[in-house]
Chains A and B, each alone.
Chain A
Amino acid sequence: MPPLLKLILIRLGLGALTLLLVSVVVFWATQALPTDTAQAILGREATPERLEKLREKLGLNRPVYEQYASWLADVVRGDFGDSLVQQDTPVTKLLRTRVVNSAALVFVAALVSIPFSILIGSLSALWRDTKFDVTVSTGNLALAALPEFVVGIGLVLLFATNVFRVMPAVSRIDPGLSLLNQLDLLILPAATLTLAVAPYVSRILRASMIEVLESEYVMMARLKGLKGPLVLWRHALPNAIAPTLQVIALNLAWLAGGIVVVEYLFAYPGIGQSLVDAVANRDLPMIQALCLLIAAVYVVLNLLADIATILVSPRLRTGLR
């Protein structure tokens, strides 16, 4: 087998293993914890009959590993069960449009924040210790510290309610209309996510770029008499971006988690909002589906970044000497 293929297959295998373990964690936390799940869902005043009925429905009377096995078998087939709140509606059906909405939000935020922060990070490294760099790094430091709901509320106070009233404060997407017709509703949530992610990516890029700019091969490229832009484009940038791919993937995955707070704040009908509702209502199948989905996004993005890193680094691609 070619070493490159083997390397990628190993990563794929590890990714699958992680996903399996993720499912164990999700199942354990929701259904196998040493608490009475049925009681937890229905509360103290529940009648014994109702409790028994729910246990039956959730299969809580069977041994734990059996419950897990049949649950996993269903999940693999794409069946997460019915919602406990909206009776007899499959979770997958409830989530369909919400996944699309959330994906749109994450996509817009990523599209803006990633190229923007790569640019900012590279420029800061290039103009190291100038006024620009100091300003950017101070801004990054502050933004990285702020919890996303603080950023979001700040934006609402500033642009939607008290200072200027140019934006909608809530983003209730009309399911009857295409998302493309309601893009204005995406602006504030996407801006919040962008501001939350950009500092991390631009900081890591700055650090990586500085390391590369001080490397001996960039010094050598300069001492060879290459023109400045060529040194940057050919010698510095590719080597600076490669090690940041993992961080970029991590931050995209973080976007998938950050939407919980942001969607709740803007009442945006996505999976984050669903998760908050599901936790409030103890809708177990819903929680299981959402946690698995979000973790899977992380695992897949990480895997893609891994493979991308292998593909852009000749040392890894051609196999270790």
Chain B
Amino acid sequence: MSEIPKVTDSNLVEPASTPGSGRSSEWSETLRNAWSFGRTKIGVAIFIAIVLLALLGPVLAPHTPTEFVGAPYSRPSPNALFGADNLGRDVLTRVLWGGRTVLGLSIAATIIGLGGGIVFGLIAGYARRFVDETVMRLLDVLLAFPQLVLVLLLISVVGPKLWLIVLMVGLSHAPRVARVTRAAALEISQRDFVKAAEALGESRVRILATEILPNITSPLLVEFGLRLTYSIGLIAALSFLGFGLQPPAADWGLMINENRVGVAVQPWAVALPVLLIGILTIGTNLIADGMGRALIGIERRADV
């Protein structure tokens, strides 16, 4: 088992960190490195812009979301800059109102999914053998369902309740997050410093919290960005299918569903929400990608 290690000189570049720079933690380093990519900056700008739009939108909206401003599917006019929807309500107003739900529900679902996934992944990754096998096999069962199908399966009985949708979208992320966490935790738990802590007799919980978790924050950060992207897509898709927000709510996904019959006459009522959802997911994915790249950079370096 003990291999005679190779002496190489392929690792020529030493990290540029200065001694005692007081670098606090891994994730802040990842964030700083991620920020150095132009793409990440674009992603963050997009995300902030859409969050602002969603938060301030209702204040800026010229009408109320349920007020009738014209005939159904009427074309853009000075009163309704992007025309009216299937019931004659102002498209612009509804777009300005409709971002809050998508954002709020997605972020909540992502937090639930990440939390659950991390707990299961850490346990499986550190416990190994029997517990690991069992936990992962059970999660594999959930993996067999495409995320949307899993959510549909559960709301088919209970009905489209918002808390249920958030919970289910979160739950559908959990096995995927658990896989990533487990792989990372497994890798770390095989390092000697974990064995050193075991030899000292440190408790398992303490080892998980102080030896393993601090070393896997970066992949989890990337995972957060990715899962947020998928949450947005899923939640919007559920509304689009008619199982998410229910009328008369103003919601981007629901708007697409309500107005797609009239897309040929009044494309704005569909195009605007589609565009915003698309831009938002691209933004969050750019952030996730930036963090992923930063992570690879750090791993390369640390891999002396």
Chain B contact residues, CB within 8 Å of chain A: 39, 137-138, 140-149, 152-159, 229, 232-234, 236-237, 240-243, 256, 260, 263-264, 267, 270-271, 274, 277-278, 281-282, 284-286, 289
Contact = CB atoms under 8 A, between A and B. Distances in A.
9 contacts: A145-B284, A146-B278, A147-B234, A147-B281, A156-B263, A161-B263, A254-B146, A260-B241, A279-B156
Given A146-B278, A150-B278, A153-B260, A282 B156 contact: yes
B156 A149 contact: no
A176 B122 CA distance: 55
A144 B230 CA distance: 10
Interface residues of A, number: 51
A26 B141 CA distance: 11
A253 interface: yes
Contacts of B263: 153, 156-157, 161-162, 169
B157 A40 contact: yes
Given A40-B158, A156-B263, A279 B232 contact: no
Contacts of B153: 26, 29-30, 287, 291
Given A29-B157, A40-B157, A149-B256, A257 B147 contact: yes
Contact of B157 (A35, A141, A145, A280): A35
B256 A153 contact: yes
A22 B141 CA distance: 6
A119 to B, nearest CB: 23
A147 to B, nearest CB: 3
B281 A21 contact: no
Given A25-B145, A282-B156, 20 more contacts: A17-B137, A18-B137, A18-B144, A22-B145, A25-B141, A29-B153, A29-B154, A29-B157, A30-B153, A147-B233, A149-B236, A149-B237, A149-B240, A149-B256, A256-B146, A257-B149, A260-B146, A260-B148, A260-B152, A264-B240
Contacts of A40: 157-159
Contacts of A298: 143-146
A33 B158 contact: yes
A265 B153 CA distance: 19
Most chain A CB inside 10 Å of its own CB: which residue of B152, B159, B289? B152
Most chain A CB inside 10 Å of its own CB: which residue of B141, B154, B155, B232? B141
Interface in A284-315: 284, 287, 291, 294-295, 298-299
A17 B277 CA distance: 39
Interface string A152-164: 0110110001100
Most chain B CB inside 10 Å of its own CB: which residue of A21, A26, A33, A147? A147
A211 to B, nearest CB: 12
Nearest to B282: A145
Given A37-B157, A40-B159, A147-B236, A257 B148 contact: yes
Contacts of B277: 147, 150
Contacts of B274: 150, 153-154, 157
B277 to A, nearest CB: 6
Interface of B is mostly: helix
Contacts of A14: 137
A278 B241 CA distance: 12
Interface in A23-62: 25-26, 29-30, 33, 35, 37, 40
A253 B146 CA distance: 8
B132 to A, nearest CB: 15
A275 interface: yes
Contacts, number: 145
Contacts of A136: none
A33 B144 CA distance: 20
Contacts of B260: 153, 265
Contacts of B140: 18
Nearest to B289: A141
Contacts of A156: 263
A5 interface: no
A198 to B, nearest CB: 15
Most chain A CB inside 10 Å of its own CB: which residue of B39, B263, B286? B263
B47 to A, nearest CB: 12
B144 A22 contact: yes
Contact of B148 (A17, A161, A261, A278): A261
Contacts of A282: 156-157
A300 B138 CA distance: 17
A129 to B, nearest CB: 13
List the 7 shortest-distance A-B pairs measured between CB atoms, nearest first.
A257-B146, A147-B233, A145-B285, A295-B144, A145-B281, A21-B141, A279-B156
A159 B138 CA distance: 44
A153 B269 CA distance: 12
Given A29-B153, A40-B157, A279 B145 contact: no
A258 interface: yes
Contact of A260 (B149, B158, B159): B149
Given A145-B229, A154-B274, A33 B237 contact: no
Nearest to B283: A145
A298 B150 CA distance: 13
A276 interface: yes
A18 B141 contact: yes
Contacts of A142: 282, 285
